[in-house]
């Protein structure tokens, strides 16, 4: 019983990232009664959902089981990373997790899953048959490592985009990084422009710009804290979305 090299590579990376996690592959009797990527192709009587022309029996689906070594927060984060990464999506057929499906057919958008098994206790990943022989690693599996000196803007914007927007094709939000040098340069430039414009309250306009900059700085700090709490498992993906919705309504 052979797993496609593409999905074996994913299995290996998942096990490295989450030592002790349980990953299943070959289908049980329930899967064997219907077409499924858990069933091996090129096998008499087996109902594989996909097939390739190599003539070698192989299955191309894995189930990453929840447990002490792979929590719901881990599953939430892993799915976010996989469906947000174009290279990972190119190697996948679809992903099912916690009542939702992301697939090629729905443009990798988070869609309510209507199957009888809502996949509450495991992440299901089906590999793309055309990529069966791909033995490369899956960088999206690795947990992001954040150090104190890291610029959080890109990491945070990518996480927020994936969770809140739900469309990995959308460019990440570009956060504004405010500092004293930026403020002085902006103020000087605007002051020079506005000074040449008669009838305008230069001081008032600059004061308003400062107010907006301060508000955006506070918002960026709040969003960074939100991403930190999500990364540590304090908040689930659903809770992050709820918090973002509250901020958008404020």
Same domain for 100 and 207, yes or no, is no
Please give the radius of gyration of the chain, using alpha carbons only, rounded to the nearest integer. 24
Q: Give the model confidence (pLDDT) of 136-174 as tens digits.
A: 999 999 877 655 444 545 555 555 555 444 444 444 443
Structural domain span for residue 182: 152-249
Residue 176 shares a structural domain with residue 239: yes
Q: What tokens does 210 get?
A: 């400062």
Domain co-membership, 235 together with 165: yes
Q: Is residue 156 part of a domain?
A: yes
pLDDT for 187 equals 66
Q: Is residue 146 part of a domain?
A: no
Same domain, 170 and 122: no
Q: What percentage of the chain carries pLDDT values higher than 90? A: 34
Query: How many domains does one find in the chain?
Result: 2
User: In what order do the strands lie in the sheet containing 111-112?
Assistant: 23-24, 61-65, 122-127, 92-97, 100-103, 111-112
Least Cα distance to 92 among 54, 61, 52 occurs for 61
- Cβ-proximal residues to 105 (8 Å cutoff; 6+ apart), any chain: 94
Same domain, 88 and 167: no
Last residue of a domain, one of 88, 116, 141: 141
pLDDT in tens, 23-48: 998 766 666 657 778 787 757 776 77
39 and 124, same domain (yes or no): yes
Q: What is the pLDDT of residues 189-241, one digit of tens each?
A: 666 665 665 556 666 666 776 677 677 767 777 777 777 777 777 777 778 77
Domain ends where: 84, 114, 141? Answer: 141
pTM more than 0.95: no
160: how many CB neighbours lie within 10 A of its CB? 21
94 assigned to some structural domain: yes
- Kind plus residue range of the DSSP H or E element containing 239: helix 237-249
């Amino acid at each position: 019983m052979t797993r496609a090299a593409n999905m074996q590579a994913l299995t290996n990376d998942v096990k490295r990232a989450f030592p002790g996690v349980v990953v299943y592959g070959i289908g049980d009797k329930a899967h064997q009664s219907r077409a499924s990527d858990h069933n091996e192709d090129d096998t008499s009587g087996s109902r594989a959902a996909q097939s390739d022309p190599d003539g070698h029996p192989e299955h191309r689906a894995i189930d990453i089981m929840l447990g002490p070594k792979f929590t719901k927060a881990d599953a939430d984060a892993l799915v976010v990373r996989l469906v947000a990464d174009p290279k990972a999506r190119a190697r996948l057929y679809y992903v099912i997790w916690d009542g939702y499906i992301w697939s090629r057919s729905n443009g990798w958008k988070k869609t309510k899953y209507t199957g009888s098994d809502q996949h509450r206790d495991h992440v299901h990943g089906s590999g793309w048959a055309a990529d069966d022989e791909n033995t490369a690693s899956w960088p999206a599996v690795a947990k992001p490592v954040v150090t104190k000196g890291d610029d959080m803007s890109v990491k945070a914007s990518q996480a927020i985009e994936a969770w809140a927007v739900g469309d990995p094709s959308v460019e990440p939000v570009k956060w504004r990084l405010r500092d004293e040098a930026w403020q002085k340069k902006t103020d000087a430039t605007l002051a020079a422009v506005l000074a040449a414009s008669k009838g305008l309250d230069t001081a008032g306009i600059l004061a308003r710009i400062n107010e907006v900059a301060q508000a955006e700085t506070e918002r960026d700090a709040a969003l960074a804290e939100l991403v930190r709490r999500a990364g540590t498992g304090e908040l689930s993906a659903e809770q992050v979305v709820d918090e973002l919705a509250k901020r958008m309504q404020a």
